[in-house]
Structure formats: C-alpha cells, structure tokens
Structure 1
Amino acid sequence: MAQGAPPTYQDAINNPEKSFNPGSGAVVGQPGYPPNSDPATVVVYPSAGYAESPQPTQQVYNTGYVNPNYATEPTTVVDTMPIVAMSETPQGAQPDHGAEGFTTVGSFSDLSVRRIFIRKVFITLGLQLLFTFGIVCVFTLIDSVKEFVQYNPGLYYAAYAVFLVMYFVLVCSVTAARKHPYNLIMLILLTIALTYMVGTISSFYDIYAVLMGLAITVGVCLTVILFSMQTKFDFTKCGGLIFILLMVLVLYGFLTIFTWHYYWYVQVVYGALGALVFTLFLAFDVQLVMGGRKYELSPEEYIFGSLVLYIDIIYIFLFILAIFGGSSRS
C-alpha cells in the first residue's frame, strides 16, 4: 500500500485503532501525531461485522485525515445534565401558616385557594346580614314584637352575655375558630345574640330612621368593600392609627353618657366618629380577607373573616342610627 494512501476496508476492520494521515504518513497514536490542532470531525470506523456504510457517532479532534468515502455529516452527541430550579416551597405544597390566623403576604398564593376562601367568607357574611336585617325589620314594624323586646330587658342582657362569650372564644382560640362544626355553631349563636341586641336597639328608633340607616349602611359598606378591593393603598399597614381612633371613640363614648341628655349634637358627633372608625375597620378587614397585602388571613380562617366583617357592618349601622337620634318609645 502506497504511503499516505487510505487504508482498505479490511485493514480498518482488523486494526480499528489505527488511521493514517495522508499528508504526513503518520499513524494515529505514533509520535508526531496529530500534525495540526485545528478542530474538525473525523469518522470512527465500525467494528468487525458491520456491513453497511457506517454513520459517524461522535465529535473528536482533527487527526489530519478524513475518509473521503464517508460524506455524511457527523452527528454530534451532546451530553447534558438537567437543570433543576430550586424553590423555597415545592410545587403543590401548602405553605405553613403557623398557629396564628394572621400571616404575612403570600401565605396562600394559589389563586384557587384564595377564591374558595373569599367565596366562603362572603357567602357566610351575606347569610348573617340577611338574617339580622330581616329581624330588625320585624322588631321595628310589628308593634307586638316591639313591645315585647322593650319591656323584657333581661333577654337583651342575656343575649349580650352570649355574644361576648362566643366572640372571645372565636377570636382568642385559634383551635375553636378552626374546628368544624363547632366554629360554625358558635358563629350561629353569636349571630342570633347580636341580631336580638340590634333588633332591640332599633325598636326604640323611629321606623323611618331605621330604614334610612339600613339604606345608608348598605351604600357605605358596598362602597368601602369595592374601594378596598381595587385600591393600591394598603389599609393593613394602618392598624396602629385605627387603634388610636378606636381609643378616642371609647373615651368620647364615656363623655356622652353624661352629656347627651343636654346637648343633642354630642350624640351626632359620637355617631359620626364611630361610623368613621368602623368604616376604616371594614376596609382593614376586607383587605385581610382579600389577601395580597402586608397582612392577610390564612385560608383556614373563613369563620373569623366572616365574624369581623359582620361586626364591622353591624356597628356601622348602629352608629349611623345614632346620628339620626330622635329615639322615641312607642
């Protein structure tokens, strides 16, 4: 075989580890090989028994020799390792909300979980308000019921005691607020007790004042709820300010005990201040329920969410009713 000539097919089968450089006559693996360092693709010849034209399978450095009989472009085999994106919370896992009902933003970022939570809260709240305002209308419009509740104050104080017990249990005990169905039973008892109290208070007011108070309450609450959902302002950061306003309201309330009999406008100012404070509370609590703010309620706290929104709306109604004043026994 002439020097520099390509090997025969039989030589390639018998000596697969050797190949020849037509430019220098050097054999692969001998000293002086390779003649240059330019990268290129060469063919790795098949092992014995392969009868068809071999297909190149890998990329290697230039040996200075490419068999002209194999014109097919080589296929480069790339060995890659999968890149795994690391995250703090595995996909599909629920975040830990801890023992408390209040969490920081992002505690339930799953939109489906948030929608279910919001739906539960507002359905429960709607049923509470329908029951309460329906009983208020009964206590105000039916004279026999009005006289009964007005001349039996013991039932009012009993309802007040039930309300306080249920309220503090649901607010102070996370276990009680999450344990179904006991949390629902306690919420129903609280709603009945507060409804009786509100109905009794409304019975001492003129029917037109009560209806006007209901209409204004509905308008104010719907406006505040829609505004709180859409605004970028975060009311959950204003807890300290709202608490200070609440303390001012409490102190002013003690003042009205001794002065409202002499100055009618004291009661009006008290009602306006109370309506303002609990309107801010309503905006604060709506954003806690909706989530996406600095603080939000965890998904397990739908009973607590319904409770705080319900109490906010009831107090707004009572303070608006106090603005009209003119309470009269009938």
Structure 2
Amino acid sequence: LICLQVSVTNKSNNGSDVQPMASAPPSYEEATAGGSPCYSGAYPGDSEMLTEFSWDDQNIRRIFIRKVYTILMLQLSVTLAFVAVFIFCEPVKYYIQTNPGWYWASYEIFLHITRCQVFDRPISYLNISPLSSYYNTKSVIICLGITALVCLAITIFSFQTKIDITSYQGVLLVFCTVLFICGLVLAVILLFGYVPWLHAVYAALGAILFCMFLAFDTQMLMGKKQYTISPEEYIFATLSIYLDVVYIFSFFLQLFGTPERE
C-alpha cells in the first residue's frame, strides 16, 4: 500500500508558502440570520423536495380513502342484496318469522364477535337480514333511505368541518355508558312487559351514538386530526365505517319501522 500525504498550502504572489489564517467564528446573530437551512431554502431544491413529500403524503391518503369507500360500497351492496332476499322472498320471510330461534342465535353471535375483523361482515348479513324480515317491507325501504341520507350528510359534514371530532372521545364514552345502562334496564323491564316508549328512547340513543361514531371514524380516515388511521389499515377502516352504518340502520329500523304482525 502506498500512502500519499497531501500538504495544502497557500502561495503568495511571490511564490513563498504562507500558512492559512484561521477565520473568526461567526456571531450568534450572523449564524441564525438565515434561519434553519432545512426550511429556509439555503440548500438548492429543498423547497421542491418538501413540496414533493407533502404531495406524496396527500396522494397516499386520497388513494387510501378511495380504496376504503370502494370496498365499503361493495359491502353495503351485498348487505342490501341479503336484506332484499329476506323482505321480498315470502318463503324466507315466513320461515324466519315462524322460527325466531335463528334470529336470536345470529344476534347472540353478532354481539360477541361484532368487532372481529374476520367474522363481522358475514355475521352482520345474518343479523340485519332476519331483523328486516320482522318489519313491513315499505318501512324497511324507508329506513334504508333515511340511513343513506343521514350517512351521506354525516360524511360530508365530517369532510368539511374544521371541528376535530376525534378529540371528543370522552363524549362517546359517556354515550356508550348511557346506552349500556338503558339496554340493561330495557332487558329487565321486558321480563315483565313490553314498554314501547322505552324501546323508542333506547333506539334513538343508539342512532345518535353511532352517528357520532360514523363522524369519528370518518375523520380518523381523513387524517390530519388528533387521531388518524394508517393507510395500511384500510380493512380496519372499512369495517369500522361499515359497522357504523349497519348499527345506524338497525336503530332506525327499531325507531321508525312498522312490525310486520301489526
């Protein structure tokens, strides 16, 4: 190995070697006058790089939102097809009405694994479809229309408003507690008799709660809030919004629907 040692010297005009003079360090004012080089544009092209990174992040978020709502529309379309079979096919509707054990079994399973990402979609089909068969066909269609309009309005509001709904987790917790207590009271009272107005209050509270959850999950999907969903978790985001819509429809059906046997 041959090591080369390079000596750097300054030459004066007459050719003599002159040792370099050390310059004085800059003052604090001089050092900070231009700001941070990462954000002040001191480096060539840094503003273009920051703009490109910001654009890439927004583009990824838009693709994520588009993917979520595409899958959501497919899920809701299949759910609507199942509901249509149970309300328009008279043999299926009659079988469910005369064998309520199937409905209660599906409802029990739905309550236990409703937040499981593997099973919540088929169980939602099995639960919401038998529930629809117990109500008048016209009232089911009306409740579907109301659910669609309410969900559309909440989605537009969540995208347009500057209010950070994801920061109101305490309010959602209070509503969940109230709904849980009302459900327990209603279950106890049902042992002695059916109270229509109490059932209506419970359904109204449930509809309000899951409308709030829909706004909460929608803003988590959008990003740039206190709590956001990673673009890699599009399955979780889709299922969260899907369950919100299903719950809203079920509570609207209990609130506005007309039972088939009346």
Q: What TM-score do the two structures reach when normalised by structure 2?
A: 0.74
Which of 38, 45, 67 does residue 85 from structure 1 map onto? 38
Which of 252, 259, 267 does residue 199 from structure 2 map onto? 267
Which of 67, 79, 82 does residue 132 from structure 1 map onto? 79
8 Å contact 1:159–1:193 — kept in the other structure?
A: yes
Deviation string, structure 1 residues 275-296 (Cα, Å, up to 9, x no partner): 1111001000000001111110
Alignment pair present for 1:289 and 2:221 = yes
The answer to which structure has the higher helix fraction is: 2
8 Å contact 2:143–2:257 — kept in the other structure?
A: no
1:103 alignment counterpart: none
Structure of larger gyration radius: 1
Q: 1:146 to 1:305 in 2, by over 3 A?
A: same
1:112 alignment counterpart: 59
8 Å contact 1:113–1:299 — kept in the other structure?
A: yes
Rounded to whole Å, the distance in 2 between the matches of 1:319 and 1:153 is 19
2:152 alignment counterpart: 222
Alignment pair present for 1:146 and 2:93 = yes
Alignment pair present for 1:17 and 2:9 = no
How far residue 271 of structure 1 moved from its aligned partner, in angstroms, is: 1.3
Q: 1:153 to 1:257 in 2, by over 3 A?
A: same
2:255 alignment counterpart: 323
Q: 1:113 to 1:233 in 2, by over 3 A?
A: same
How far residue 255 of structure 1 moved from its aligned partner, in angstroms, is: 1.8
How far residue 224 of structure 1 moved from its aligned partner, in angstroms, is: 0.1
8 Å contact 1:278–1:315 — kept in the other structure?
A: yes
AA aligned to 1:150 is: Q
Q: 1:301 to 1:167 in 2, by over 3 A?
A: farther
Rounded to whole Å, the distance in 1 between the matches of 2:109 and 2:181 is 25
8 Å contact 1:272–1:319 — kept in the other structure?
A: yes
Structure 2: 5+ residue stretches without partners: 1-12, 16-35, 40-48
How far residue 112 of structure 1 moved from its aligned partner, in angstroms, is: 1.4
Q: Note the 1:53-68 alignment, pairs <5 A.
A: none
Q: What TM-score do the two structures reach when normalised by structure 1?
A: 0.59
Q: 1:289 to 1:109 in 2, by over 3 A?
A: farther
8 Å contact 2:136–2:257 — kept in the other structure?
A: no
Q: 1:283 to 1:131 in 2, by over 3 A?
A: same
Structure 1: 5+ residue stretches without partners: 1-15, 19-82, 96-105, 171-185
Identity rate, percent: 39
How far residue 329 of structure 1 moved from its aligned partner, in angstroms, is: 3.9
AA aligned to 1:142 is: C
Structure 2 counterpart SS, 1:297: coil
1:249 alignment counterpart: 179
Structure 1 counterpart SS, 2:70: helix
Structure 2 counterpart SS, 1:295: coil
AA aligned to 1:328 is: E
Structure 2 counterpart SS, 1:85: helix
Q: 1:109 to 1:157 in 2, by over 3 A?
A: farther
How far residue 85 of structure 1 moved from its aligned partner, in angstroms, is: 2.4
Paired residues, number: 218
